[in-house]
Amino acid sequence: MKIKKGTIIELNVESLSYGGDGFARYNDIAVFVQKGLPGQTLEAVITKKNKKFLKAKILNILKKSPDQINPKCTHFQDCGGCSFQNYNYSKQLQEKGNQVKDLLKHITGLSSSKIKKIKKANQTYNYRNKMEFTFSNDPWFEKYNPKEKKDLCLGLHPKGRFDKTIDLENCEIQSEISNQILNIARHSAIKNNLTPYDIKKHTGFLRQIVIRSAIHKNETMVIIVTSENNQKKLEPLINDLKKVTEIKAIINNVNRKKADVSYSEEQYLLYGDDFITEKIGPYKFRISPDSFFQTNSKQAKILYDLIKKEANLTGNEIIYDLYCGTGTIGIYLSKKAKKIFGFEIIPSAIDDAIINASNNNVKNALFFQGDIKDSLIDNKEIDIIEKPDISIIDPPRSGLHPKALKNIIKLKQKKIIYISCNPSTQARDLIDFIDAGYKVINIIPVDMFPHTPHIESIVTLER
């Protein structure tokens, strides 16, 4: 049979692919099935044909996966947030561990004996401390009825449909209080006739709401993104939100651009403080609106404890904490290190890191703001500080810029601990470290994000 878009075929799903789709084969061609689970036999329709692979959508489940369970979330079928809520957690872990093994073996040729068992999350629901929801006038109806209209909805996008928004009342992976805030914000916006931003016509006022919480003392920060600076218009919504005692900070970001991002240089503090405070282990961390913070606070402790173990400090080490955010990892290791030098691009994160060191009585840490690719070598300020014995590297999903990678190698540190939320860019970067004489000692996958396809992994290298 000639396969094309729209062809209906029968498939047996073998595993979960990196990214979350089910992996199957049709006449030796790889097929990625949206929401397919290992063990399922499916009737599926081809949605995309490529020279090397096919993409497909489930039409009928002919045989259920033995590990399939009922998802908690009522929006599960449509929402692009979680992929595996309907798959047994121990199987999710097994599949994620295998993905790290396959990726690293395929890209770097490393033997799987280096890869440790994936660290599970003890809490698999209500764990996310940061979520971003979109205001929209273009709702996605789970059983689509174009006649049904909503002037304002608030929620997440369906998978692959950034033009549509699911009017979400409950997200199972964020905290209870964040769900309450989500619903208060929606009802208040409707009651007060605030208009959602229309991403096609570029009209309307409310764009996104970001809810960040710190579990330590139940502190929550709400960032409302609007298309103009009009605090009078926002007042009734702010008054409703202020009634929630857990809310310690309300911030307004103004995004006048067409691009649908919540980050903005135009930022106003509307209520409370401009930060919240989280605790990991014995350390307290101040988090500003634009600063990165690990999105699963409980699992961050597990991650940082593993990094500490891998660092195996004696007290004499100079440590570079590269991509340090609010200084968390460096501060976490500071007691057993001689000196910590942190590097980070976002100025407010560096401000947080300096305050965090001081608040935790850490006297052996210094922080530098700048782009890592330009700031490590041939920089008057940095050339005079000691070179590292150990570099901890925790870049964004895109991995290391080639210039940053070259400069890190020039630092000649004995040990590198490379943490990544994207094992494929991490594997790409490992090739250069291996070529420069580093040996991979350990690889530890960590599940920071249950029910989603994301995987964190720690790789320890020595020279």
Q: How far is the CB of 323 from ligand SAM (least distance, A)?
A: 3
Q: Which tokens sit at 355? A: 């305050």
Q: How far is the CB of 132 from ligand SAM (least distance, A)?
A: 16
When asked if residue 328 is in the footprint of ligand SAM (CB under 6 A), the reply is: yes
Of 28 and 265, nearer to ligand SAM (C-beta) is 265
Over its C-alpha atoms, the chain yields an Rg (Å, rounded) of 23
Q: How far is the CB of 151 from ligand SAM (least distance, A)?
A: 36
Q: Which residue is nearest to ligand SAM (CB)?
A: 325
Of 284 and 373, nearer to ligand SAM (C-beta) is 373
Distance, first Cα to last Cα, the chain: 54
Candidates 99-107, 190-198, 200-208, 325-333 — which segment interacts with ligand SAM by CB under 6 A? 325-333
Of 85 and 326, nearer to ligand SAM (C-beta) is 326
In whole angstroms, how far apart are CA 80 and each of 169, 178, 336, 446, 453?
Answer: 15, 18, 42, 22, 11
Q: Which of 73, 171, 324, 421 is catalytic?
A: 421
Of 67 and 447, nearer to ligand SAM (C-beta) is 447
The letter for the amino acid at 81 is: G
Q: What is the spatial distance between Cα 290 and Cα 88, in angstroms, rounded to a whole number?
A: 35
When asked if residue 292 is in the footprint of ligand SAM (CB under 6 A), the reply is: yes
User: How many CB atoms are located within 10 Å of the residue 415 CB?
Assistant: 20
When asked if residue 172 is in the footprint of ligand SAM (CB under 6 A), the reply is: no
With CB under 6 A as the rule, give the number of residues binding ligand SAM: 18
Query: DSSP per residue over 274-329, as a string?
Result: S-EEEEETTEEEEE-TTS---S-HHHHHHHHHHHHHHH---S--EEEEET-TTTHH
Q: Pick from 103, 324, 427, 430 the residue near ligand SAM by CB under 6 A.
A: 324
When asked if residue 295 is in the footprint of ligand SAM (CB under 6 A), the reply is: no
Q: How far is the CB of 283 from ligand SAM (least distance, A)?
A: 12
Q: How far is the CB of 266 from ligand SAM (least distance, A)?
A: 19
Q: Which tokens sit at 442? A: 């350990």
Q: Which tokens sit at 252? A: 């307004």
The letter for the amino acid at 452 is: T
Of 211 and 353, nearer to ligand SAM (C-beta) is 353
Q: Are 50 and 31 in contact (CB under 8 A)?
A: no
| 3-state SS assignment for residue 117 | coil
Q: What is the spatial distance between Cα 388 and Cα 411, in angstroms, rounded to a whole number?
A: 7
Question: 89: exposed, middle or buried (C-beta count within 10 Å: 0-12, 13-18, 19+)?
Answer: middle
- Residue numbers 338-377 binding ligand SAM by CB under 6 A: 344-346, 349, 371-373
List, in order, residues 6 or more apart from 77 with CB less than 8 Å away.
Answer: 35, 142
When asked if residue 135 is in the footprint of ligand SAM (CB under 6 A), the reply is: no
Q: How far is the CB of 130 from ligand SAM (least distance, A)?
A: 12
Strands (DSSP E) found in 170-317: 206-214, 219-226, 247-254, 266-272, 276-280, 283-287
Q: How far is the CB of 166 from ligand SAM (least distance, A)?
A: 27
The letter for the amino acid at 47 is: T
Of 105 and 401, nearer to ligand SAM (C-beta) is 401
Candidates 23-31, 192-200, 246-254, 292-300 — which segment interacts with ligand SAM by CB under 6 A? 292-300
Q: How far is the CB of 169 from ligand SAM (least distance, A)?
A: 30
Of 67 and 429, nearer to ligand SAM (C-beta) is 429
Of 103 and 329, nearer to ligand SAM (C-beta) is 329
Of 83 and 328, nearer to ligand SAM (C-beta) is 328
When asked if residue 283 is in the footprint of ligand SAM (CB under 6 A), the reply is: no
In whole angstroms, how far apart are CA 249 and each of 214, 269, 277, 456?
Answer: 12, 8, 11, 29
The letter for the amino acid at 69 is: I
Per-state percent for the chain, helix, strand, coil, to nearest 5: 25, 30, 40
When asked if residue 306 is in the footprint of ligand SAM (CB under 6 A), the reply is: no
Nearest to 443 by CA among 103, 21, 94: 103
421 is catalytic: yes
List, in order, residues 6 or more apart from 160 with CB less than 8 Å away.
Answer: 80
* Window 387-406: contact mask with ligand SAM (x via CB under 6 A): -------xxx----------
When asked if residue 65 is in the footprint of ligand SAM (CB under 6 A), the reply is: no
| 3-state SS assignment for residue 93 | helix
Q: How far is the CB of 343 from ligand SAM (least distance, A)?
A: 6
When asked if residue 293 is in the footprint of ligand SAM (CB under 6 A), the reply is: yes
When asked if residue 81 is in the footprint of ligand SAM (CB under 6 A), the reply is: no
Q: What is the spatial distance between Cα 420 and Cα 438, in angstroms, rounded to a whole number?
A: 18
Residues near ligand SAM (CB under 6 A) are 292-294, 323-325, 328-329, 344-346, 349, 371-373, 394-396
Catalytic site positions: 421
